[in-house]
Amino acid sequence: MNRNIVQGRVLDEAGKPVAGAYVTVQADEGQVQDIASITTSEGRFRLSLPRGGFSVFATTKTGMHGMVHLSEFNVERFSPIIHLHC
Amino acid sequence: MTSKIVSNHDPVAEMQRVQRKVAIVGEKGTLPSHNHQQDDGLIVRGVLSEPLVQRAGFGQTLLSMKDRRAEVSNPLASPWRMVCALEITGVDGSCYVGTGWIAGPRLVMTAGHCVYSKDSLGGWAQSIAVSPGRGSDSSAPVYVSTSFKACDHWISREDENHDYGAIILDDDIGDKHGFFSSSSYSDAYLTNRLLNISGYPGSRAGEIQMHHENRVNSLSPTRIYYDIDTEGGQSGSPIWLYEEQGLDPIVVGIHAYGAGKAHIGNSGVRITEEVMGFIRGCTS
């Protein structure tokens, strides 16, 4: 199976890493494993994704959320940064 | 038990009905009886010639981009208490949310990628915390396991058609919480059958159990496809139905994949005789 490792970060409005955020993925075309990643103390997450475009969502227990869209052509495709807001 | 949809007894489907060849019979558990069989009015049963909701114009894990799922209000009642929130820790300490279901006294079934993934987990999970019937008040018990199983097809190739795995517990949680029946059915029996899926999405911090329902969309020998909303964190959720006049939930699949618009729906691994053999092997 042709999959890519996506290793990203979740940051708050001040640019500080957010630990314990929940990261989920929705595929544009293909299919994704329905697992959610929890960010580390440095705000990092890792997901294994097949080829294609994806929307990557992050939420926290406090209600902050953010999203980034990854296409085949995004330069940040393999290291996206999600900025959270209220 | 009340149900949202009562079987419409499609005569064609009734005639085509083929009894399951292989079955593992569940248990109700010993938790207080007032908690038993409270379905929240969410559960569906029977067959429908049309879907409960039409597929949205663009496919998504949440297929309509509006969350059509409903929160389970009392996850410590049956059958919800047999659905487990999973907190999965990989070899390098990375953490993930998944879902499982109690399939035997010390057995929790889930997706294969929740117990073994070269890319995400670094191989076998280091540990998984299992919380049956978890709710936001954190009153549900937590059982930690370091013993997991998956079939050879999943370990060697991570083949999506064999994406199922097992968590073996030290504690006999099936005695207290009960465990699901599981069975393999023919295409004729499953076609248009109404399914229930309940699990723990990451957007709810893996703490709130969410349920959605619809009929079978299509079938392959190893997969079930459906327009039922799911989300990251619900991998490993039970896909269950009820037989006519039956009160016991019977698992017929294990949810594993959210779909984009090129796919015919979200999907899970179908309970086949191969999967039944795997479950039996884990319980013996």
Q: Does pLDDT of A13 surpass 50?
A: yes
Domain coordinates of chain B in residue numbers? 11-76+180-283, 80-177
Per residue in B249-279, pLDDT tens?
Answer: 999 999 999 988 777 889 999 999 999 999 9
ipTM of the complex: 0.94
Looking at every residue in chain B, the average pLDDT score rounds to 85
**Whether A27 and B260 lie within 8 Å, measured CB to CB:** yes
CATH superfamily of B80-177: Trypsin-like serine proteases (2.40.10.10)
The Cα–Cα gap between B34 and B193 comes to: 29
- Sequential DSSP letters for B209-234: -EEEEEEEEEE-SSEEEE-----TT-
* B160: CB partners within 8 A, 6+ apart: A1, B223, B256, B257
Closest CA to B148 of B230, B88, B78, B60: B88
Say if residues B172 and B242 touch (Cβ distance below 8 Å).
Answer: no
Using a CB-CB cut-off of 8 Å, the residues of chain B touching A58 are: none
Gap between the Cα atoms of B91 and B116, Å rounded:
10
The per-residue pLDDT for B59 is 38
What's residue B62's pLDDT? Answer: 54
pLDDT band at A11 (very low <50, low <70, confident <90, very high): very high
Q: Which range marks the domain in which residue A61 is found? A: 3-83
Q: How many Cβ contacts (< 8 angstroms) between chains A and B?
A: 125
| Residue B253 sits at the chain A interface (C-beta within 8 Å) | no
Number of domains in chain A: 1
d(CA A22, CA B275): 31
Higher pLDDT, A50 or A57: A57
Indicate the residue of A30, A36, A45 with minimum beta-carbon distance to B262: A30
Residue (of B32, B1, B17, B44) closest to B197 by Cα position: B44
Same CATH fold assignment for domains B11-76+180-283 and B80-177: yes
Who wins on pLDDT, B266 or B30? B266
Q: Is B113 a catalytic site residue?
A: yes
Chain B CB contacts of A52 under 8 Å are 260
Mutation site, B155, B231, B261, B266, interface A, largest A CB count within 10 A: B231
Query: Between β-strands B70-71 and B83-89, what pairing exists: parallel, antiparallel or unpaired?
Result: unpaired
- Residue among A29, A34, A46 whose CB faces B232 most closely: A34
Degrees, nearest 5: CA angle A17-B99-B19: 160
Lowest mean per-residue pLDDT among A72-86, B86-100, B192-206? A72-86
For B125-157, the pLDDT digits (tens) are: 999 999 999 987 777 899 999 999 999 999 999
Pick from B125, B277, B135: which is nearest to B208 by CA? B135
CATH of the domain at A52: 2.60.40.1120
Nearest to B236 by CA among B78, B22, B70, B86: B86
Going by pLDDT thresholds of 50, 70 and 90, the confidence category of residue A76 is low
Q: Which of B230, B240, B191 is nearest to B209 (CA)?
A: B230
Quote the pLDDT of residue B140: 82
- Say what the pLDDT of residue B82 is: 96
Q: Which segments within B105-260 are labelled E, that is strand?
A: 107-110, 116-117, 123-124, 127-132, 143-145, 147-150, 165-168, 181-183, 194-199, 210-219, 223-226, 238-241, 250-259
pLDDT at residue A56, as a whole number: 93
Q: Residue B257 has what pLDDT? A: 95
Contacts of A1 in chain B (CB under 8 A): 157-160
Helix (H, G, I), strand (E, B) or coil at A17: strand
How many residues would you count in chain A? 86
My answer on whether omega of the bond before B79 falls inside 30° of 0, hence cis, is yes
- Residue B42 — pLDDT band, cuts 50, 70, 90? confident
Which range has the worst mean pLDDT, B8-22, B201-215, B258-272?
Answer: B8-22
State the pLDDT at residue B36: 44
CB-based contacts of B189: which residues, under 8 Å, 6+ apart? Answer: B13, B16, B17, B18, B20
Provide residues of A within 8 Å CB-CB of chain B.
1, 3, 5, 22-38, 40, 45-48, 52, 57, 59, 61
| B36 against B105, higher pLDDT | B105
Using a pLDDT cut of 90, give the percent of chain B over it: 61
Task: Tell me the CATH number of domain B11-76+180-283, given options 2.40.10.10, 3.40.630.30, 2.60.40.10, 2.40.50.100.
Answer: 2.40.10.10
B235 is catalytic: yes
Residue B262: closest C-alpha in chain A: A29
